[in-house]
A and B are shown apart, each in its own frame.
Chain A
Amino acid sequence: MNRQRWQSVSFRNPYLFALLLFLLALLVNFIFQPNLFQRSILNSNMRVFLPLILLASGQAVVILGGGIDISVGAIVSIINAILASQLGAGASAEKTLLVVVIALLVGMVAGSINGFFIAFLRLQPIITTYATSFLFAGIALYILPEPGGGVPLVISSFYRDTTPLGLPLGLYIILLILIAWYMTRQTRYGRYLYAVGGKPDAAYETGVPVNTVQFSTYVISGLMAALGGVAITLLTGSGNAQVGDALTLASITAVVIGGTALRGGVGGIAGAILGAIILGLFKNIISFANVDLWWQTFVNAAIIVLALAAPGVINLLRRKRI
């Protein structure tokens, strides 16, 4: 393949590298864990990956629109705190539904706070969402000062063990997200999103409502973070106001590994979902490869850096050769 073709291929398919990496990670994981494709193992993996997948999808929309959202982890924590403190182990089905709906609304409100400051007051995204992440983390701690609380067992086991047609629940959710995403891409909003992320000034001059589109990306991200918060609460079955802390940076890494450029306008949600799964597979591999406990953080981080560096290395080598 000559250089032009490789460039046009990688330009038209920003997911290509992520797909290769995904297959590689899947293969390595399979070698270390031969029963990987058993239904129960598949299901337990998917339910662990799902919170990050949801978060990364929202993060991808924000990054596509030229922003970044550092507050997603704190939003997850708020949702976890709300669910665990309001439901407890004995809540009825109606109450659970009500609280979950309220939690999703809270996520969207949190996202619109971000969006308001960034899109309408024109503040810089990274520092704004950093500030709101303090605000949200404080609220989460205020709601649930000590780890505790819980959700009804029925609901968490529904999340854990529902496998329609023998396939994990998470797969259906991913499918739903992807369908929604491809439908959105066909609409005017989808094209606006890429225009705003790529060249906001040009988009503004051609009549795209830049501020509204930017605002909407943060609301979407807030909603996805809230869904992620619901998922992680059902997964753990308990409350901890700092549960989301580690997810923020992972969601950004997942988006970038998935081929979405941080400068905006290139990429999409499918890559981010792949990226989130890849990060999860990396963790699996490390735990099944019997890496010494003290080495795990290092090995995990080193693999991630290598994965980030690989496209750059490929480009560098190709430029040298031709």
Chain B
Amino acid sequence: MKRITISPPVAAVLLAIVLFLLSGLLPNGYGNNLSVALAQATNIIRLSVFLGIIAAGQTLVIISGSEGIDLSAGAVVTLSAIVTYVIVKGQDGNVIPALIAALAIGAAIGFLNGIGIAYLKIAPLVMTLGMAGVVTGLILVAQHGNVSGAVAPLMTRIIARPVFLGIPGAVIIWIIFAALMWLLLERTTFGKKLFAIGTNRTTSRLSGVNVTGMVLLTYALAGMLSGLGGFLVLGNTGVVFINIGNPFLFPSIAAVAVGGTLLSGGKGSYFGTMAGALVLTLITSLLTTMQMPDSVRRMVLGATLLILISIYGRQRGFRQ
């Protein structure tokens, strides 16, 4: 008997659509008002962009295997958002330097993670966890809890507002970004090697892959993408605060898992992560619209996540 299989990304997208359609039936849902429904859908996709881009770096390190994970993503998002905020100072002309600084800082932190993991053989989970503490500490030292700066009008216009046919700029950025991620993973030697070291580091090394270099590069890249995430998140919120990045940390891992990427590495896709980010953002915003207390919201989110990963996050059994 042949089992019907749906690939996780498709399943996640289908789930998102079904959930969204059902949400119309809620007492304060969009009902049969098509334009409101469309506006809500656009807004949810726009909100998914930030989680989606932060989860991109997470996707890379998780594919790279050997328990790869980046727990410093949240702290890097905060730091790069603060750096952007301070550098931009409300001037359009400062946006590009600020973006470069955000990317560079993210990459530098990711590189340090890579050194700890590749050379000092620290487990990725604890290395990036320790780094998260260091970065949070740095933020406190540098800012003493208050920052002065401002977001440039250009950033708000590009990221938060509709730019083309009512599509928000963030969504367009995400589409271009997704195309680049697909190229990186599927059409470059970096991508090939990444999946190779994720499947088996020893065989990759024996077949001539510079595993250490790849690990360094992957973590640096992941840090850089978190930096980009921080820049974009700031463009959306317009204000910066000390915990701006933390709420993205574990959802970024969950988005990768929901998207069908194996947490053991070597298998996965960015489309899956995008779908995962969409589902998670949708569930979170639905729970918010239903005006449930925080406690119930957390319980429902946890239970939903459990159900989602039970459906297609299962590892093979020992008997197989």
Interface residue ranges, A against B (CB under 8 Å): 68, 117, 121-124, 126-128, 130-142, 145, 200-201, 204, 210-211, 249, 252-253, 256, 261-263, 294-302, 304-305, 308-309, 312-313, 315-316
Annotate B299-320 by CB proximity to A: 1 below 8 A, 0 otherwise. 1111101100110011111110
A299 touching B125, Cβ below 8 Å:
no
CB neighbours of A128 from chain B (8 A): 306, 309
Q: How many A-B residue pairs have CB under 8 A?
A: 158
A138 touching B296, Cβ below 8 Å:
yes
- Which residue from A201, A294, A315 sits with its C-beta under 8 Å from B144? A294
B134 touching A305, Cβ below 8 Å:
yes
Give the docked Cα–Cα distance between A127 and B276 (Å): 13
CB neighbours of B300 from chain A (8 A): 138
The answer, yes or no, to whether B6 is at the interface (CB within 8 Å) is no
Give the docked Cα–Cα distance between A304 and B135 (Å): 13
Distance between A206 CB and nearest chain B CB, rounded to angstroms: 11
CB neighbours of A316 from chain B (8 A): 119-120
17 CB < 8 A contacts A-B: A117-B306, A123-B310, A124-B315, A127-B257, A127-B313, A131-B254, A134-B305, A136-B302, A138-B295, A138-B297, A142-B296, A200-B318, A252-B126, A263-B67, A300-B133, A302-B134, A305-B133
B133 touching A301, Cβ below 8 Å:
yes
- Which residue from A134, A256, A262, A305 sits with its C-beta under 8 Å from B302? A134
- Which residue from B120, B250, B297 sits with its C-beta under 8 Å from A312? B120
CB neighbours of B318 from chain A (8 A): 200-201, 204, 210-211
B140 touching A123, Cβ below 8 Å:
no
Size range of the chain B interface in the assembly: 35 or more
B122 touching A308, Cβ below 8 Å:
yes
CB neighbours of B127 from chain A (8 A): 305, 308
Give the docked Cα–Cα distance between A294 and B127 (Å): 23
The answer, yes or no, to whether B116 is at the interface (CB within 8 Å) is yes
Give the docked Cα–Cα distance between A263 and B67 (Å): 8
- Which residue from A127, A252, A297, A309 sits with its C-beta under 8 Å from B140? A297
The answer, yes or no, to whether B263 is at the interface (CB within 8 Å) is yes
CB neighbours of B250 from chain A (8 A): 130
Q: With A117-B306, A131-B305 in contact, do A308 and B130 touch (Cβ < 8 Å)? A: yes
B314 touching A122, Cβ below 8 Å:
yes
Distance between B138 CB and nearest chain A CB, rounded to angstroms: 6
Q: With A135-B306, A300-B137 in contact, do A142 and B263 touch (Cβ < 8 Å)? A: no
Task: With CB as the reference atom, state the residue of chain A lying closest to B136.
Answer: A297
Distance between B53 CB and nearest chain A CB, rounded to angstroms: 20
CB neighbours of A130 from chain B (8 A): 250, 253-254, 305
A256 touching B121, Cβ below 8 Å:
no
- Which residue from A137, A200, A201, A301 sits with its C-beta under 8 Å from B136? A301
- Which residue from B141, B144, B254, B317 sits with its C-beta under 8 Å from A127? B254
Give the docked Cα–Cα distance between A135 and B303 (Å): 6
The answer, yes or no, to whether B49 is at the interface (CB within 8 Å) is no
B302 touching A135, Cβ below 8 Å:
yes
CB neighbours of B145 from chain A (8 A): 294
The answer, yes or no, to whether B264 is at the interface (CB within 8 Å) is yes
B140 touching A294, Cβ below 8 Å:
yes
B309 touching A127, Cβ below 8 Å:
yes
The answer, yes or no, to whether B21 is at the interface (CB within 8 Å) is no
Give the docked Cα–Cα distance between A158 and B179 (Å): 63
Give the docked Cα–Cα distance between A133 and B306 (Å): 11
The answer, yes or no, to whether B298 is at the interface (CB within 8 Å) is yes
Task: With CB as the reference atom, state the residue of chain A lying closest to B250.
Answer: A130
Give the docked Cα–Cα distance between A122 and B314 (Å): 5
Give the docked Cα–Cα distance between A104 and B318 (Å): 32
B69 touching A135, Cβ below 8 Å:
no
Distance between A208 CB and nearest chain B CB, rounded to angstroms: 10
Task: With CB as the reference atom, state the residue of chain B lying closest to A137.
Answer: B298
B306 touching A262, Cβ below 8 Å:
no
